[in-house]
Amino acid sequence: MPLTRTLILSAATVMAGGSLHAEAGEKRVFMDVGAVSALHDRGEQLARETLGFGAGVEFDVQEAIVYGAFSRILPVGDQQAAFDDEADYTLGVAWSQHGYSADFSANWLTYPGEETEASLEMVGAVTLEAPFAPTLIGFYDADLKDWGLEFAAGPEWELGNWTLAAIGRAGFVQPSEDAAHRSYAGIELAAARPVSKSVEFGFFARADTADEASFAHRFENGEVTSFRNSGVAAGISFAIIR
């Protein structure tokens, strides 16, 4: 399952995709649906209550997996107007070698009905086959000229039918010249279990902090009027792969 910047980033969904993927064939169709109390990404809050879904297809090409996906972020609730709807289109490739796995994708980020302009974002990730699965993720936005790096790692273990994980992350974002540099850190706890042969359910809770006030605090007339340096979020997801 691809690595994208939307709800698929929740640890519960990533774990679900990984375990289901192991039983799949040469061609796989995947989908995930999720709901979160707040949507966090790279040390900032993208929305409060949010529904999201993603779908796509992936193919085995020699020793790599080539995939395409579509994902949607839909803010809901009383403060919906303060945040942007988002629709993303992804093309990527993932592969594994002895000692590591890697993923690279190009993501066309669009905002239907919003004033925010679309942009092309490149995302790459490398995960080492080592204790706690250390992962380095980098991104570069070709239109906005934003870029950043994130390091994530943590244990994963089995408890009955459940897969449990604790993930710590730290990183930074270097925005364009008219915005401030942001460093951030966070921790996430997640659990996932199969519902059927092709469906898995997961949930997570996370807390994030940044050196810039980038998490919504107060609202007025459909706008965020003040920010704070930290936030918490929880969510559920269903992942399907066939």
pLDDT at 241 over 70: yes
pLDDT at 216 over 60: yes
Q: What whole-number distance in Å separates Cα of residue 75 and Cα of residue 155?
A: 31
Q: What whole-number distance in Å separates Cα of residue 17 and Cα of residue 53?
A: 14
Residue 176: per-residue pLDDT: 81
Condensed to tens digits (0 to 9), the pLDDT of residues 48-92 reads 999 999 999 999 998 899 999 999 999 999 999 999 999 999 999
Residue 235: per-residue pLDDT: 96
Residue 149 or 24, more confident: 149
In the block, residue with structure tokens 């998490």: 215
Q: What 3-state DSSP class applies to 64? A: strand
pLDDT at 122 over 60: yes
Condensed to tens digits (0 to 9), the pLDDT of residues 226-238 reads 999 999 999 999 9
Domains of the chain from N-terminus onward: 7-241 (2.40.160.40)
Give whole-number Cα distances, 179 to 45, 47, 149, 151, 227, in Å.
16, 19, 17, 22, 15
Condensed to tens digits (0 to 9), the pLDDT of residues 4-46 reads 444 444 444 444 444 444 444 478 999 999 999 999 999 999 9
209: left (phi over 0), alpha (psi -120 to 50) or beta: beta
